[in-house]
Structure 1
Amino acid sequence: MKIAVTTPTGHVGSRVVQLLLQAGVRPTLLVRDPDRLAAHVRERAEVVRCDQGDGDAVVRATEGAGALFWVDPPTDDEDPVAGYARMGANAARAVRENGIGRTVFLSSVGAEKRSGAGEIDGLGRTEELLDATGASVLHLRCGFFYSNLLAEVAALREEGVLRTTLPLDEPMAWVDPRDIGDVAAARLLSDAWSGRQVQAVHGPEDLTYAQAAAILSTALGRPVRAERISDDELRAALRAAGLGDKQVEGFVGMSAWTRDGFRPENARTALTTTPTTLGSWAWEHLRPVL
């Protein structure tokens, strides 16, 4: 069976590719820049230069695929919600026109809201577009990626601070992207499921930012404190970085919606819990870059 994989150099996609190769599959990799793939991966995969924003290219690249791993990649669209929805429309078109039987989509906790969750609304729209194809689809509703902390390296190194607009005592799901890749690959390789399904990927435990800062202090061997900032402070920082108004609001909205008592549609269970702790991830990935 031909398995097509998007974003194969990403935190999740690269893990999916590794596991498919180890399972004896020769995946088809849709990638904007094939040179970013390791040589051993290029040798063992069908590599297609493809911009996921080009619907015709996506349809051509996925022709003959029986399964698809789809990630809405970041876009430069002025409106990130519309950008994600545009990518999702290309995925849905490929599923319909190529008769792709099963799609695993990298979604997010909060996509179930459909509106009011910032950029995540675009993932919710992609879920709807894939559902409308009538093909089997699994939406992976993932928690906060540990790897997002890599964007905070400067503040952690220079100030020992972890900033957020969330209440410091508000627990939420944190997850290692590698573990998400494990779940995605297992579902791509299995033909034991069909229809529309949703599976959360919540990591090993819900953590508050205060707890996360304490864990990072131990793992990194340096003090880290959590600090709450206002939405307006975040807006000012994002505008200073050159983001437009809709981009700013899309980013701010990704945290603002969690402050109104939201609880994920999928509860934490043995099925949604994955093993890698924040401490072990930080020791392996964050400590070396500080």
Structure 2
Amino acid sequence: MTIVVTTPTGHVGSRVVRLLLQAGVRPRVLVRDPGRLDAGIRDRLDVRRGDLTDAAFVREATKGARTVFWVDPTPHTDADPIGTSQRTAAPLADAARAGDVARVVLLSSIGAEKRDGAGHIDGLGRIEEMLDATGADVLHLRCGYFFTNLLLDVDALARGVLTTAAGPHAPMPWVSPRDIGDVVAARLLGESWKGRVVQGVYGPEDLTYTQVAAILTGALGRPIGLEVISEDDVREGLRSAGLPPGAVEGIVGMTAGTRGLKPDPPRDAVTTTPTHLAGWAHTHLRPLLGPATPA
């Protein structure tokens, strides 16, 4: 069984790689910089060095694989994020259509089912459609909001501020990438699914940003206040940082386009995963903030 893992050094991919090794599988990993792989496992992997935006590399590296785990590597800062996501995944779709790849597990997102109006998430919707048209067995894992996105706000959290342009009282799924990795590995190893399958990965509960601020206050040992800003505030900040217009709208659209969205599929026992935000924040976020400033 040949299983290809893209972005094997990321929050999800690194977990998937370890679980596959523990299951007795030697995964084929596609990586730009092999030096970023864990030195303790590097010799146990089939390492293919290259760039996922290189169509020839993707076709050659996935050829003959039973299953591919595809993570879109397109950064949100790309000038044409939706188009780049689609173009980057095209060689994989070609490989699946040609029969060089039998199964694909796609790391997708809530909102991809909209197909339009969800910013850069629309790129994942396009990839879902491309893969659906190949005739291969395809599994779309539509994930909630990653806990690890909070790592982008460490400086603000150290000052006691959680900032969002989302509605403060609108619940949304929050999920640990480790839990996502567990689901991915189980699906890569499982042989029972066929055709087109869509599965949600939503964490243990839906949370509002107001609840997240309260959870972080307890987990981080410091008061965390919620600052709600407008979409125009976000746009101005991104423009000031030098991002091109396509990237700005791709980022703003992800929040605007999923506001009030009811995830598809709905939450149930299969889509619910165990790791709670409080424990994750205490373990992974609290050590990065330093001591709290006395009131």
TM-score range, shorter chain: over 0.9
Structure 2 residue 50 is matched with structure 1 residue 50: yes
TM-score by length of 1: 0.97
| CA distance in structure 2 between the aligned counterparts of 1:119 and 1:202, rounded to whole angstroms | 19
Q: Which amino acid letter does the alignment assign opposite residue 12 of structure 2?
A: V
| CA distance in structure 1 between the aligned counterparts of 2:266 and 2:40, rounded to whole angstroms | 39
| CA distance in structure 1 between the aligned counterparts of 2:242 and 2:158, rounded to whole angstroms | 23
State the shift of 1:200 in Å: 0.3
| CA distance in structure 1 between the aligned counterparts of 2:251 and 2:242, rounded to whole angstroms | 13
Q: Which amino acid letter does the alignment assign opposite residue 6 of structure 2?
A: T
Identity of aligned residues (%): 61
| CA distance in structure 2 between the aligned counterparts of 1:67 and 1:263, rounded to whole angstroms | 30
The secondary structure found in structure 2 opposite 1:141 is strand
Where structure 2 has 5 or more consecutive residues not aligned to the other structure, the ranges are 290-295
Distance 1:175 1:135, change over 3 A: same
CA contact (8 A) 2:172 2:207 kept: yes
CA contact (8 A) 1:52 1:90 kept: no
Where structure 1 has 5 or more consecutive residues not aligned to the other structure, the ranges are none
TM-score by length of 2: 0.96
- Name 1:182's counterpart in structure 2: 182
CA contact (8 A) 1:53 1:90 kept: no
State the shift of 1:262 in Å: 2.3
State the shift of 1:98 in Å: 4.8
State the shift of 1:77 in Å: 3.4
- Name 2:258's counterpart in structure 1: 258
For residues 89-110 of structure 1, the C-alpha deviation after alignment (integer angstroms, 9 at most, x for no partner) is: 1221222235311111000000
- Name 1:289's counterpart in structure 2: 288
| CA distance in structure 2 between the aligned counterparts of 1:217 and 1:94, rounded to whole angstroms | 48
For residues 157-211 of structure 1, the C-alpha deviation after alignment (integer angstroms, 9 at most, x for no partner) is: 12x1111111110000000001000000000001111100000000000000000
The secondary structure found in structure 2 opposite 1:174 is strand
The secondary structure found in structure 1 opposite 2:198 is strand
| CA distance in structure 2 between the aligned counterparts of 1:222 and 1:95, rounded to whole angstroms | 50
- Name 1:280's counterpart in structure 2: 279
The secondary structure found in structure 2 opposite 1:68 is strand
| CA distance in structure 2 between the aligned counterparts of 1:190 and 1:98, rounded to whole angstroms | 20
Bigger drift between 7-16 and 82-91 goes to: 82-91
Q: Which amino acid letter does the alignment assign opposite residue 14 of structure 1?
A: S
- Name 1:231's counterpart in structure 2: 231
Bigger drift between 177-186 and 76-85 goes to: 76-85
1:128-143 aligned at under 5 Å gives the runs 128-143=129-144
For residues 9-56 of structure 1, the C-alpha deviation after alignment (integer angstroms, 9 at most, x for no partner) is: 000000000100000100000001111001122111100002110111
